Amino acid sequence: MRIILQFIIIYLALAPHIFADFIRPDHHAPIGVMKDHTHNKSEFMIAYRFMLMTMDDMLINTDAIESSELFSSTTYMMSPDKMNMSMHMLGGMYGLTDSWTLALMAPYLSSSMVTDIKVTGGTIEPKSHGLGDLSISGLYSLYNREKIKSIFSFGLNLPTGSIDQKFNNNTLGYPMQLGSGSFAIEPSFVISRFWHNVSIGTQIGIKVYLNENSSNYKQGTESYLNFWTQYLLSKPMTVTLRLEHKIKNSYVGSNPVLNTMMSPMNRSDLQGGHISYAFLGSNILLGGSNFLSGLFSGQRLALEFGLPFYQNLKGPQMKSRYKGIVGWQMAF
């Protein structure tokens, strides 16, 4: 959270002084939306994103349940209390033609979970960190005009993230693993509409896991819908509002080494649900008609902060508390 606050302070300090004159900042979607734009032939873009998400307490459908209640009403010996998840994402895009763009994304994940222990009344805090699943995508510009843009993308997720993270020689539950262990395909569609000072956009997508992994399960299909609007506060800067809804199905199969009597985190059938977020953020273009234009030409900064307003989880499952995203992009 401190990293995000420091970024906001620097962001607001730079915004009035470093700006671009010719490209609208809302030609890119809010920073939490991936694969939202294409590039011209031979154009490169590199990007960095940092995401922080916190979770606490538990839900069964929409009803809250505490650890003490879980212990008294079930045979579970461990109960999740709090969880922090962070992700560093490096990305690259290259314009193969004016219509086709290639995109690569590589995440580095870190997770920690405070877990209540029934027998001792104490807690433990297992952690995991490492490379997640890599993604390679092709983006095709279906329609590209001044006021309307639409893009279709097709992605392939590669099972490079670990599914065998351990704590005290015990395999951690599903939410603490770094990858899926499976190949996945992810088609999506984006359309945006621009007016003088306002723009809107929407994205719909689905991720389908194709094969059972080496631990005898595959993650459930995920589908998502984003809708956003942006308002130009000035030439280089917008304020963004985004609504996101995600549906995740429970896993198919299960890891035989996980004891389902120990914790709900070990239950493959308790990993699905619906969640809706509202995000407030900003996009800023760097570079323009000032002495810093050469240094910052082609660069963007962006941030979002979101709170969930609806959660219906197949639990007991930890509920989300908030999510923050900051990012930097440079095209050349």
Is the Cβ–Cβ distance between 136 and 160 less than 8 Å? no
Q: Which residues, in sequence order, are CB contacts of 60 under 8 Å at separation 6+?
A: 313, 315, 316, 317
Is the Cβ–Cβ distance between 109 and 119 less than 8 Å? no
- How far is Cα 243 from Cα 200, in angstroms, rounded to an integer? 12
Q: Which residues pair with 111 in a beta bridge?
A: 85, 128
Rounded alpha-carbon distances, angstroms, from residue 331 to 45, 93, 226, 324: 4, 9, 24, 24
Per-residue confidence (pLDDT) for residue 289, from 0 to 100: 44
How does 127-155 read in b/e, with b if 16+ C-beta sit within 10 Å? ebeeebbbbebebebeeeeeeebbbebeb
Per-residue confidence (pLDDT) for residue 297, from 0 to 100: 73
Per-residue confidence (pLDDT) for residue 298, from 0 to 100: 79
What are the strands, taking DSSP E only, across the chain?
44-61, 63-65, 78-95, 100-117, 123-124, 127-131, 134-144, 148-158, 166-167, 170-171, 184-194, 198-209, 217-218, 222-234, 237-248, 252-253, 273-285, 299-331
- How far is Cα 109 from Cα 178, in angstroms, rounded to an integer? 7
- How far is Cα 277 from Cα 247, in angstroms, rounded to an integer? 12
Per-residue confidence (pLDDT) for residue 286, from 0 to 100: 86
Q: Residue 172 — φ and ψ, nearest 5°?
A: -75, 160
pLDDT digits (tens, 9 = 90+) for 153-181: 999 999 999 999 999 999 999 999 999 99
pLDDT digits (tens, 9 = 90+) for 38-59: 999 999 999 999 999 999 999 9
Q: Which domains, and CATH codes, for the chain?
A: 2-331 (2.40.160.40)
Per-residue confidence (pLDDT) for residue 288, from 0 to 100: 54
- How far is Cα 83 from Cα 177, in angstroms, rounded to an integer? 13
